[in-house]
Structure 1
């Protein structure tokens, strides 16, 4: 699957991104499971709000990390597609 830039990813129903202060890490809480995103995934997930398009997420990340947009686009799309396959992220319009 190739994600269009206009796709607006959102966390799947029942999934929440929360900071677990007791463990000192961020977690994705889903029904009957918990995932611990790595630093890269966390930066992307913090921007997945159901409002921003993939293009907007890429623009924000490229500016924040002074990274070439075209270089990070494939990695971000692959991450979102993987999370969608796991049922954690919805990709309407993809």
Structure 2
């Protein structure tokens, strides 16, 4: 993963709050993926303006924690592998 790249949702995927499930989901033409709270918090920041360091810094500040970089990078890599998000150089 290019850690300087910014992350954004791919054109075929969309993050959305689903009232019925009371959770965030990723919608795509073939279906839907339900997200847990940490995954949703990370993916909400994938708006095309933030790289890995910016996402980590924002989450660490919001949740008053440290040492989450590897977890965030792992989730972003999984989202990239699944095609949910894309890396913008």
Alignment size in residue pairs: 89
2:32 to 31, 34, 48: 34
Q: Of the candidates 59, 82, 90, which is equivalent to residue 86 of structure 2?
A: 90
Q: TM-score, normalised by structure 1?
A: 0.86
Q: Using the alignment, how far apart are the partners of 1:84 and 1:45 within structure 2?
A: 11
Q: Which residue of 2 aligns with 1:78?
A: 74
Map 1:58-69 → 2, pairs under 5 A: 58-68=56-66
5+ long unaligned stretches in structure 1: none
Distance 2:37 2:59 in 1: 13
**What aligned pairs does 1:12-51 form with structure 2 within 5 A after superposition?**
12-51=10-49
Note the C-alpha offset of 1:13.
1.2
SS at match of 1:28: strand
Structure 1 residues 70-89: Cα deviation after superposition (integer angstroms, max 9, x where no partner): x2111101100011111111
**Higher normalized strand content (fraction of residues):** 2
In 2, are the aligned partners of 1:3 and 1:77 still within 8 Å (CA)?
A: no
Deviations 1:26-59 (A, max 9, x none): 1100121210111110110111111122211111
Query: Is the alpha carbon distance of 1:10 and 1:72 closer, same or farther for their aligned partners in structure 2, counting shifts above 3 Å?
Result: same
User: What are structure 2's unaligned runs of at least 5 residues?
Assistant: none
